[in-house]
Amino acid sequence: MTIDVEKCHITHYPARVLGEPSLPVDRIDDTIRQLVVKMTDMMVELKGVGFAAPQGGVPLRLFIISLDGSRNNVRVYVNPTVKGEGPIVENEEGCLSVPGVYTKIKRYSIATVTATDLDGKTFTEQGDGLYARALQHEFDHIEGVTIVNRMPTIAHITYRRQLKKLEEANNDAGS
């Protein structure tokens, strides 16, 4: 797959790239490193704590997390697997690809991630709280799932106008 990093931009629900499982990263090269820089720029600019490649229009199994939203604390996850465990907790979530929608989402309280970093080293970490939530949220993106798929029916009703606006804007953009 050829990636034009310069053309990467935030994609919004219901863009096709957000609704399909992503492809594995074959090799970590300069293009992937440039993509991570671009993803970091978008995440920081939009004031997020995580960003998945599909949100930048690239269907790859890659995401970044920075719990304080800063460039300095970005962690890169290439071809990750995330497993949730522990009690299910409900907390409010937003998504950079679903602007204007903040809704309660149920997630596991603990998550374990195994991934590769940009140096090609595999690592495994376990997190709770915001970290566990961010891992599960970003992993959802590379699986083709957004908060729209996870939000309760009442939230769909509450945000129907906003979701309709996003759908209409996406149809106008032709993606």
Helix (H) or strand (E) holding 122: strand 122-128
Query: Which is the catalytic residue, given 6, 90, 125, 138?
Result: 138
> Cα 23 to chain center, whole Å?
14
CA distance 170 to 137: 22
CA distance 143 to 164: 23
> Cα 52 to chain center, whole Å?
4
**Helix/strand/coil for 159:** coil
- Our answer to whether residue 143 is catalytic in this structure is no
Strands 122-128 and 62-65: unpaired
Catalytic residues: 138
